[in-house]
Structure 1
Amino acid sequence: MAEAAIAIEVVYATAEHQWLLACEVPAGTSVSAALRLSGLAEQVPGLDLTHCPVGIFGKQVSDPAVRQVQAGERLEVYRPLLVDPLEARKRRAAKARGAREG
């Protein structure tokens, strides 16, 4: 008997482009395997899925090799932040302070 297939989505975004891939994977597939099966790495040059953090509906997955995907889940591949959010806030505050004073 063939394994049941489940439908999932895989998403990734850069500043220039967004990918939303709807795919079907066998039931019991791990998050890591589902990402490989999605074909995202082939569509995004230089994307190394083994080093990217991954989340499901905004919650980071701690062990993608173990966690199994469920039907209807959206796997989100995160990219590194270019600027630390705290540092960016400090810069904006300093700029605003300078505008008020000057």
Structure 2
Amino acid sequence: MKVEVVLAWPRRFESAVLELPEGATLADALAASGFTDTGEVAGYAVFGVVAGASTRLHDGDRVELLRPLQADPKEARRRRAQKPRP
């Protein structure tokens, strides 16, 4: 089965298309991709849905390596709401 593993930053990304055996897990895809030493990965997702290392993959899945949030979304919204409107 074919699986794509994607690691993205704001202005660039790295991607690896892998051929894995049926029944492969997210951990298998990470090991095969070579993206294991990124250091900044906060979690994983399959097509935007949070997933764990034991998640079974299917043909055509896109595994996304998620970066940590740079700002708390609730706090950022509060700051925007407090700014005076023109």
* Fold shared, TM-score > 0.5 on shorter chain: yes
Which of the pair is proportionally richer in helix? 1
- Deviation by residue 1:25-63 (Cα, 9 ceiling, x = unmatched): 12221101211101224xxxx6138x63111111101x3
TM-score (norm 2): 0.84
TM-score (norm 1): 0.73
Match of 1:69 in 2: 57
Following the alignment from structure 2 to structure 1, what is the Cα–Cα distance between the partners of residues 31 and 42? 12
Among candidates 41, 45, 59, match of residue 55 of structure 1: 45
Following the alignment from structure 1 to structure 2, what is the Cα–Cα distance between the partners of residues 88 and 53? 21
Gaps spanning 5+ residues in structure 1: where?
1-5
Aligned length: 86
Query: CA-atom RMSD, angstroms?
Result: 1.9
Gaps spanning 5+ residues in structure 2: where?
none
Q: Which runs of 4+ in 1 moved over 6 A?
A: none
Q: Which protein has the larger Cα radius of gyration, Structure 1 or Structure 2?
A: 1
Give the secondary-structure state (helix, strand or coil) at the position aligned to 1:11: strand
